[in-house]
Amino acid sequence: MSELRFDAVSVRYGHHLAVDDVSLTVPSGQVVGLVGESGSGKSTLAATAVGLVPATAGRVLVDGAENHLRKVQMVFQDPYSSLDPRMSIGGSIAEAMPRGTDRRAEVARLLELVNLDPGRATALPSRLSGGQRQRVALARALAGRPEVVIADEITSALDVSVQGAVLNLVRDLQRQLGLSMLFISHNLAVVRYVSDRIAVMKSGRIVEEGPAERVLAAPEHPYTRELLAAAPRRHTRLEAS
Amino acid sequence: MGRRGVLRAAAGPAPVATPRDRTGVVRTVLRSPVGATSAVLLCLLVALAVFAPLLWGDRAAAIDTDALQQGPSPAHLLGTDQLGRDIFFRVLVATRLTIGLALLATVIGVAAGLVLGSAPSVLPRWAGRVVTSAVNIAVAFPGLLLALFFAVIFGTGTIGAVLAIAFAITPSFARLTQTLTASVAGRDFIAAARVCGVGRFRLLTRHVLPNIAEPLVINSTLAAGSALTAFAGLSFLGIGVQAPSYDWGRLLGEGLNRIYLSPAPALGPAVAVVVAGLAFNLFGEAAASAAGRRPQPVRRTPPAPESIVDDSGGGLLTVRNLRVTFPGGISPVRGVSFTVHEGEMIGVVGESGSGKSLTALAVSRLVEHPGEVTADRLEFDGRPLAATPDRELGTKLAMVFQDPMTSFNPTRRIGRQLAEVSEVHQGMSRRDALAKAVDRLRAVRIPEPERRAGQYPHEFSGGMRQRAMIAMGLMGEPRLVIADEPTTALDVTVQREVLRLLARIRAERTAGVLLISHDITVVAQTCDRVLVMYAGRIVEELPTAELFTAARHPYTTALLAAVPDLDTDRDAPLAVIPGRPPEPGEIGPGCPFAPRCPLAGDRCRTEEPELTAMADGHRVACWRSESELTLAATGGPR
Ligand SMILES: Nc1ncnc2c1ncn2[C@@H]1O[C@H](COP(=O)(O)OP(=O)(O)OP(=O)(O)O)[C@@H](O)[C@H]1O
Ligand code: SF4
Ligand SMILES: [Mg+2]
């Protein structure tokens, strides 16, 4: 597998600097969790990696190369809007495959991989539950044989009861296929569960990055400490300040 | 919700029907009287167009010098023309040419419109802009004027008229295609396809066009109706079909010359034009209204037993045996009872579809037709909710919605939308209201509130939009705040701020708060009591302080186990609840959780348990005894 590297990436919307000189590396075969406040530019950064948003400055490299069409795939937040309602799920998955693949066999294999019945390839997304749709989205991302997968808030539109199943699947697949992965979430507990390393983003900048245990056990940046203190824990209560 | 922030620029959400609707549309059209009648008429017209020239072509062409310019008679129902040909048969035979030319013009016009309308999404950006502005200019001209203009350019004759009408249709179709395309282009599946390497052209043909086909087809039907009448107009004026060919417009023109002698020869083609034009238009209208409606599921469920509840009452909000029912006997909320006291914060948790939002809507009187709300008691601030005037409800009860993108008008600035609340409900001046709006945006920790107030919803990130929504709820002086998933897409720090904000509102104003969330940890942090909902009912109610120690219902304990927290074992798989919750139509007799419940027994499958008191302030709806549940929750397999 490969390494994804953001090299001094900036993105500007008009006067607003959404991503400010970010350098971040997702090492080969590892999961980097990206947390940060809303509007901090997490999604924008992800969008530069897959070419949906052009970087105003800087480069995104996969194994040192800038041309990486299809090598980076993304799973979106909302499985209800990320699948074409008029296209069968098999069709959506097949579309992402490189030319010359045996599409039918590959679709069946991928559906099997994400624990869905291959017989449902012809079903439309409206027949599937949110969790099942997110599995299809995952299968589609894998169909392009990516070297890097970006998961942008993939569980936040899902119910907790389904969230667990999707997270288990993501972890299994990542280990089984040795994927490199950028896992974006606002939920620190979720990020902690899947990530090897954790990066913390605030106002368009990465303020802290390091091995997950270290960042969680000994946060260096005050904002990381604030995040940790704010994370819901079972036995803490929040009082009106 | 952040997904919408970055990738979804200007396009507002337009109603794009789901595929499930498609067969439904046809069926709904045929079921409505107007739709059925127009469909029959259209079939008749097509049959005439196909068969009339074969059956009566000779009779329509037969010249009879003995019967020139006759009035109606049994032999010639509509009389004869100046060559003695039978006008009735000529009208029938002319169906083919009239309809054929109208459809031809429509097809050319729609096709040209589609090409122009979708060109901007495949052309380079500057070329796209040129096309867009050209279309915008052309749309400003009235269609008939354009048709006459083109008729002059192309010269008189059939081909000229077809092109004239086609190009008169084109601009409005180009515009329609552009609008629809933009509404689809902002959706994530387009972005997903782009990431997969799907090219622009394929994106258009495989993803965009299929998703906008339905409104396009409906509008084409309407356009065909107008094309038909417009064509008749051109032929009537003598710049359409030329002799010896004839269509209804031409027949009408010939008949009109002697309308004072005999009205029938003119009336025949006139009626044909009107009926055919109407048939197309009505069919289009019926299809459009059917597409805008959601098909209703039809399944009956046996009425479930009602909750028996202690009748202490006397709260800020008192709800007893609340039900929300939709046609077909579907009840997504089935007998919910609870009380919110002043200054109290109540959490409602449960999976999606469990009826949380609908309960909130019912309490805010926002359930829309055809949904029906019934309750034994539904009182707000000491008065039956039904008797509270709208204006009062507007300020006393604040509702923060789940999806802030659809709650804001995409075309208006955030600040103005907030200010409007105070202008309408409190009669504030524009300036004061705007100042208050900025103040409330600051209160929900929107940075640079003055500048942000001047921005449009799409310029906010998802989290900011959600906070702005809460700020909107605070524009009045609420006694009760109902917040439906206000923190779902927020990161922890902002989430904490929002929750604190809600906690502060309840402390400072002794307002009640009903916080709906699917995240049990959010509720656990802030609320006094938790209501756990499953399949339209409350299955457990208990004080939050006891949530992690005393929760007993198998569904509640499963939910608690499924949420990862900062202490979760990273090396073990997360606990999951097998299966999925039942749809409202699937709820049969018995406990709705039974198919997923590790403790389910025979009785669970036949009889639904009531919500009964287990301890003080702790109610559970389960057939298992307290000791069995305690064992399962504390010592049993997790
Ligand atoms: N099309 C746009 N025009 C102007 N500003 C934008 C646009 N899209 C995003 N922004 C701004 O960019 C910043 C970062 O947005 P982004 O959605 O990437 O944040 P995020 O961290 O993903 O937020 P969330 O957690 O809410 O999803 C925000 O300040 C937002 O207002
Ligand atoms: S009633 Fe039966 S099925 Fe329902 S929760 Fe209790 S044990 Fe489970
Ligand atoms: Mg985001």
User: Got the DSSP string for B308-334?
Assistant: P------SSEEEEEEEEEETTTEEEEE
Q: Which of B188, B519, B520 sits opposite A81 (nearest CB)?
A: B188
Distance from CA of B102 to the nearest CA of A (A): 30
> Residue A241 above 50 pLDDT?
no
Measured distance CA(B356)–CA(A41) in Å, rounded = 32
**pLDDT number for residue B25:** 67
Ligand whose nearest atom lies closest to the CA of B460: 1
Q: Which residues of A touch B504 (CB under 8 A)?
A: 240-241
CB-CB under 8 Å, B574 with A43:
no
Measured distance CA(B71)–CA(B461) in Å, rounded = 75
Report CA(A230)–ligand 3 centroid distance (Å). Answer: 19
Which residue's alpha carbon is at the smallest distance from atom 9 of ligand 1?
B6
Report the complex ipTM.
Answer: 0.82
Q: Which of A74, A83, A230 sits opposite B492 (nearest CB)?
A: A230
Ligand 1 pocket check for A40: Cβ under 6 Å: yes
pLDDT tens across B499-513, in order? Answer: 887 888 788 778 899
CB-CB under 8 Å, A228 with B525:
no
Q: Examine residue B469 and state whether it is found in any structural domain, yes or no.
A: no
For residue B543, the cross-strand partners are B529
**pLDDT number for residue B402:** 59
Q: Are A32 and A199 in contact (CB under 8 A)?
A: yes
Report CA(B461)–ligand 1 centroid distance (Å). Answer: 4
The amino acid occupying position B125 is: R
> Residue A29 above 90 pLDDT?
yes
Report CA(A40)–ligand 3 centroid distance (Å). Answer: 8
Spatial CB neighbours of A108, under 8 Å, sequence gap ≥ 6: A118, A121
**pLDDT number for residue B324:** 92
CB-CB under 8 Å, A84 with B211:
yes
Measured distance CA(B28)–CA(B401) in Å, rounded = 31
CB-CB under 8 Å, B559 with A161:
yes
CB-CB under 8 Å, A36 with B194:
no
No. of helices (H) and no. of strands (E), chain A: 8, 9
Q: Examine residue B245 and state whether it is found in any structural domain, yes or no.
A: yes
Which residue among A40, A74, A152, A201 is best mutated to probe the pocket of ligand 1, counting the most ligand atoms within 8 A of its Cβ?
Answer: A40
Tell me what the mean pLDDT of segment A200-225 comes to. 93
Ligand 1 pocket check for B460: Cβ under 6 Å: yes
Q: Are B486 and B522 in contact (CB under 8 A)?
A: no
pLDDT tens across B447-491, in order? Answer: 899 999 999 887 887 677 777 888 887 887 788 988 887 766 565
Ligand 1 pocket check for A43: Cβ under 6 Å: yes
Distance from CA of B38 to the nearest CA of A (A): 28
**pLDDT number for residue B242:** 84
Tell me what the mean pLDDT of segment B49-60 comes to. 89
Measured distance CA(B354)–CA(B359) in Å, rounded = 10
**pLDDT confidence bin for B284, thresholds 50/70/90:** confident
Tell me what the mean pLDDT of segment A71-78 comes to. 88
Domains of chain B: total: 1
Sketch out chain A's domains with CATH numbers. Answer: 4-230 (3.40.50.300)
Distance from CA of B507 to the nearest CA of A (A): 8
**pLDDT number for residue B488:** 61
Report CA(B223)–ligand 1 centroid distance (Å). Answer: 41
Q: Examine residue B247 and state whether it is found in any structural domain, yes or no.
A: yes
Closest-CA residue of chain A to B547 = A234
Q: Examine residue B325 and state whether it is found in any structural domain, yes or no.
A: no
**pLDDT number for residue B347:** 93
- Domain of residue B206 covers 24-293
**pLDDT confidence bin for A196, thresholds 50/70/90:** very high
Structure tokens at A13: 């919307």
Tell me what the mean pLDDT of segment B374-393 comes to. 86
Q: Can you tell me which atom of ligand 2 is nearest the CA of B604?
A: 2
The reported pTM is 0.70
**pLDDT confidence bin for B23, thresholds 50/70/90:** low
The amino acid occupying position B285 is: E
| Backbone angles phi and psi of B611, in degrees to 5 | -80, 110
Ligand whose nearest atom lies closest to the CA of A42: 1
Three-state secondary structure readout of A203-237: CCEEEEEEEHHHHHHCCCCHHHHHHHHHCCCCCCC
Measured distance CA(B66)–CA(B453) in Å, rounded = 84
Structure tokens at A219: 């946060």
Q: Can you tell me which atom of ligand 1 is nearest the CA of B491?
A: 25
**pLDDT confidence bin for B498, thresholds 50/70/90:** confident
Helix axes B430-443, B414-426, angle to 10 degrees: 120
Structure tokens at B12: 């507002």
Tell me what the mean pLDDT of segment B52-76 comes to. 85
pLDDT cut 70: percent of chain B above it: 89
Structure tokens at B446: 């929107």
CB-CB under 8 Å, B493 with A39:
no
> Residue A171 above 60 pLDDT?
yes
- Residue in B279, B313, B474 with CA at minimum distance from that of residue B382: B313
**pLDDT number for residue B339:** 92
Report CA(A214)–ligand 1 centroid distance (Å). Answer: 29
Tell me what the mean pLDDT of segment B184-190 comes to. 79
Tell me what the mean pLDDT of segment B395-406 comes to. 70
**pLDDT number for residue B15:** 33
In our burial notation (b when 16+ CB lie closer than 10 A, e otherwise), range A170-194 reads: bbebbeeeebbbbbbbbbbbbbbbb
Q: Which of B195, B491, B507 sits opposite A35 (nearest CB)?
A: B491
**pLDDT number for residue B338:** 93
Q: Can you tell me which atom of ligand 1 is nearest the CA of A36?
A: 21
Tell me what the mean pLDDT of segment A15-34 comes to. 93
From residue B611, give the alpha-carbon distance in Å to each of A45, B335, B542.
49, 10, 12
Measured distance CA(B414)–CA(B404) in Å, rounded = 11
CB-CB under 8 Å, A233 with B580:
no
Q: B252-261: long-range contacts at Cβ-Cβ below 8 A with a sequence spacing of 24 or more? A: B254/B81, B254/B82, B255/B87, B258/B69, B261/B69, B261/B71
**pLDDT confidence bin for A1, thresholds 50/70/90:** low
Structure tokens at A20: 């400010």
Q: Which residues of A touch B494 (CB under 8 A)?
A: 37-38
**pLDDT number for residue A212:** 94
- Residue in A82, A44, A95 with CA at minimum distance from that of residue A203: A44
Q: Examine residue B563 and state whether it is found in any structural domain, yes or no.
A: no
Distance from CA of B101 to the nearest CA of A (A): 32
Tell me what the mean pLDDT of segment B550-554 comes to. 91
Identify the burial level of B386 via C-beta atoms within 10 angstroms of its C-beta, where 0-12 means exposed, 13-18 middle and 19 or more buried. exposed
pLDDT tens across B148-164, in order? Answer: 888 888 877 888 888 88
**pLDDT, chain A, mean:** 88
Task: Count A/B contacts: CB-CB distance under 8 Å.
Answer: 220
Angle at B474 between CA B468 and CA B479, to 5 degrees: 145
Tell me what the mean pLDDT of segment B49-66 comes to. 87
> Residue A195 above 90 pLDDT?
yes
Instruction: Give the rounded distance of the alpha carbon of B40 from its chain centre.
Output: 29
> Residue B296 above 70 pLDDT?
no
pLDDT tens across B403-445, in order? Answer: 555 567 777 889 998 888 888 777 889 999 999 999 989 888 7
Distance from CA of B554 to the nearest CA of A (A): 13
Report CA(B180)–ligand 3 centroid distance (Å). Answer: 26
> Residue B16 above 90 pLDDT?
no
User: What residues have their beta carbon closer than 5 A to ion ligand 3?
Assistant: A 43; B 2
**pLDDT number for residue B583:** 79
> Residue A234 above 60 pLDDT?
yes
Tell which wins on pLDDT, A157 or A52: A52
Which residue's alpha carbon is at the smallest distance from atom 1 of ligand 2?
B622
CB-CB under 8 Å, A189 with B568:
yes
Lowest-confidence region among B205-214, B354-363, B396-405: B396-405
Q: Examine residue B233 and state whether it is found in any structural domain, yes or no.
A: yes
Closest-CA residue of chain A to B508 = A240
Q: Examine residue B605 and state whether it is found in any structural domain, yes or no.
A: no
> Residue B6 above 60 pLDDT?
no
> Residue B198 above 70 pLDDT?
yes
- CATH number for the domain spanning B282: value is 1.10.3720.10
Q: Can you tell me which atom of ligand 2 is nearest the CA of B592?
A: 4
Closest-CA residue of chain A to B189 = A82
Q: Examine residue B185 and state whether it is found in any structural domain, yes or no.
A: yes
**pLDDT, chain B, mean:** 82
**pLDDT number for residue B288:** 77
**pLDDT number for residue A235:** 55
DSSP B387: G
